[in-house]
């Protein structure tokens, strides 16, 4: 396999970059893949785990600081940001759908500046924390102070949680509220986000939400389950009834501080992610006011995995954290979801503007509409919003720069929606050219999900690289 051959012959001995990170310049691999693609003009099958086999699968750096649905494979982000022909040292890398910050962290570790945007404020919080080089000793000292305060406190403000009776026994919720009060009263401003992210991990972990499912679904024992499954469920339910929230929070802080220490050892000078907005269609300069547009032609490299449409419910998946941290009350969750591209809910009055579509896309939307009018409107809205997003990315991309998309296709009402094809057409409209197209199997269960009964499991993704002349 090309990827295996290249990685073994070219990059056995990693060099050290100025930040102290053992790194491999993947430029030669990228250039050979481009050459092969141009010779055959069809997508190249790759395995990014083999392509950058020096990156371990699993817990590494601060990637697993916090759970998040459908995380991007770190190997993909690492491969691109470590290619110096694509990303020059100390330049900017933008991820406009940053999720939990996989691209941001790999960018930061590479000594570059990560720009991030996302409609989910929880995603932005996690991305900032993952990329911040906190002082571990300071974190340890304040963790002890928070826990001591939480053990003394007896009352705390009530936090409104969506369907809280499903997720917490009253006494457990009260103890979480006391811990949250202790965090807010004791953590200094520069460390508060770290301790809030740790609290978010705890709030989900000791809830009655099934840990196997990204969106909150009550964990229940059912007779229909096999004996081994029932045993595991009963064991977890017993643990939830007996767990001490403060002891568990102490462990989470300890584990995450260790992750920060590892990342600091790798690159102690890494730069925290800078937020450039909450809407990928309207990117802003990274300052406190967001009063100005992100300048045209200012970003040399963009890499992102856009929402696939009918694949993940990001707001619902993080709803408990959003409630606990005051980012969205239960009543505001729906309006926050309405700001997300790829959402499920649309106004009843929304219509399909067929005159805005190419003949191919018009035919597909009409076929979907015949089977399911709502899905047709959702798909049309998604693709139109992605067209606007890609126009914005083309605007901010520098000449000679690149836009890399990690894209999944999905079934909608029996129709395969070729997001890879449509996104390519949208960017070609903006004057970019497709430089490289790759296909990789999705091995993580986090991405192999479907969002509604008309959708399908997504098992492969396209990795598309566009060049701006």
> For strand 274-275 and strand 113-116, is the pairing parallel, antiparallel, or unpaired?
parallel
Rounded CA-CA distance 74/16 in Å is 20
> For strand 460-468 and strand 397-407, is the pairing parallel, antiparallel, or unpaired?
antiparallel
Rounded CA-CA distance 381/361 in Å is 12
**SS3 state of residue 437:** strand
Of the options 1.10.620.20, 3.30.830.10, 3.40.50.150, 3.40.50.10300, the CATH number for the domain spanning 2-133+269-468 = 3.40.50.150
Residue 120 half-sphere exposure, CB side, CA atoms within 13 Å?
Answer: 28
Average pLDDT, the chain: 90
**What's the confidence (pLDDT) of residue 289?**
84
pLDDT in tens, 171-219: 999 999 999 999 999 999 999 999 999 999 999 999 999 999 999 999 9
pLDDT band (50, 70, 90) for residue 17:
very low
b/e per residue 147-173 (b: at least 16 CB within 10 A): bebbeeeeebeebebbebeebbeeebb
What are the boundaries of each domain within the chain?
2-133+269-468, 136-206+243-266
Residues 6+ apart with CB under 8 A from 315: 119, 120, 322, 328, 333, 336, 337, 340
pLDDT band (50, 70, 90) for residue 456:
low
pLDDT in tens, 313-340: 889 999 999 999 999 999 999 999 989 9
pLDDT band (50, 70, 90) for residue 310:
low
Q: Judge whether residue 13 has pLDDT over 90.
A: no
Q: Judge whether residue 304 has pLDDT over 90.
A: yes
Burial category of 237 from C-beta neighbours within 10 Å (exposed 0-12, middle 13-18, buried 19 and up): middle
Model-wide pTM > 0.85:
yes
Question: Looking at the DSSP assignment, which residues form a beta bridge with residue 436?
Answer: 465
pLDDT in tens, 81-133: 999 999 999 999 999 999 999 999 999 999 999 999 999 999 999 999 999 99
**What's the confidence (pLDDT) of residue 5?**
41
DSSP H or E stretch at residue 45: strand 44-45
Comparing 137-146, 374-383, 449-458, the range with the smallest average pLDDT is: 449-458
* % of the chain surpassing 70 pLDDT: 91
**SS3 state of residue 114:** strand
Residues 139-154, mean pLDDT to the nearest whole number: 98
């Amino acid at each position: 396999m090309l990827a295996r051959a290249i990685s073994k012959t070219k990059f056995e001995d990693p060099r050290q970059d100025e930040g102290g990170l053992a790194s491999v310049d993947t430029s030669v691999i990228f250039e050979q893949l481009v050459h092969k693609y141009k010779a055959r003009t069809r997508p190249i099958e790759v395995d990014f785990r083999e392509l950058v086999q020096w990156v371990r699968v699993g817990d590494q750096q601060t990637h697993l600081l916090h759970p998040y649905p459908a995380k991007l494979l770190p190997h993909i982000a690492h491969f691109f940001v470590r290619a110096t022909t694509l990303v020059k040292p100390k330049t900017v890398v933008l991820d406009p759908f940053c999720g939990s910050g996989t691209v941001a962290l790999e960018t930061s570790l590479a000594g570059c500046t990560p720009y991030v945007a996302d409609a989910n404020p929880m995603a932005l919080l996690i991305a900032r924390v993952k990329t911040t080089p906190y002082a571990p000793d300071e974190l340890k000292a304040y963790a002890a102070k928070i826990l001591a305060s939480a053990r003394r406190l007896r009352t705390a403000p009530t936090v409104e949680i969506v369907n809280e009776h499903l997720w917490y026994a009253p006494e457990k919720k009260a103890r979480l509220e006391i811990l949250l009060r202790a965090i807010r009263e004791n953590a200094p401003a520069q460390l508060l986000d770290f301790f809030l992210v740790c609290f978010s991990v705890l709030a989900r972990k000791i809830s009655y939400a099934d840990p196997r499912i990204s969106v909150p679904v009550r964990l229940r024992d059912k007779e229909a389950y096999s004996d081994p499954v029932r045993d595991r469920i009963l064991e977890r339910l017993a643990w939830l009834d007996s767990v001490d929230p403060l002891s568990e929070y102490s462990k989470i802080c300890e584990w995450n501080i260790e992750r920060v220490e590892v990342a600091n050892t790798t690159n102690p000078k890494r730069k925290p992610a800078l937020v450039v907005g909450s809407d990928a269609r309207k990117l802003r300069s990274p300052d406190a006011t967001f009063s100005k547009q992100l300048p045209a032609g200012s970003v040399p490299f963009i890499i992102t995995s856009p929402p696939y449409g009918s694949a993940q419910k990001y707001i619902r998946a993080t709803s408990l954290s959003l409630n606990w941290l005051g980012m969205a009350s239960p009543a505001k969750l729906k309006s926050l979801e309405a700001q997300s591209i790829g959402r499920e809910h649309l106004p009843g009055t929304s219509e399909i503007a067929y005159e805005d579509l190419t003949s191919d896309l018009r035919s597909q939307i009409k076929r979907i509409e015949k089977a399911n009018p709502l899905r047709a409107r959702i798909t049309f809205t998604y693709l139109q919003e992605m067209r606007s997003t890609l126009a914005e990315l083309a605007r901010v991309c520098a000449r000679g720069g690149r836009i890399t998309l990690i894209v999944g296709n999905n079934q909608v009402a029996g129709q395969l929606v070729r997001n890879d094809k449509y996104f390519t057409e949208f960017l070609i409209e903006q004057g970019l050219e497709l430089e490289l197209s790759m296909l990789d199997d999705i091995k993580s269960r986090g991405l192999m999900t479907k969002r509604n009964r008309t959708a399908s499991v997504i098992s492969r993704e396209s990795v598309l690289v566009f060049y701006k002349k």
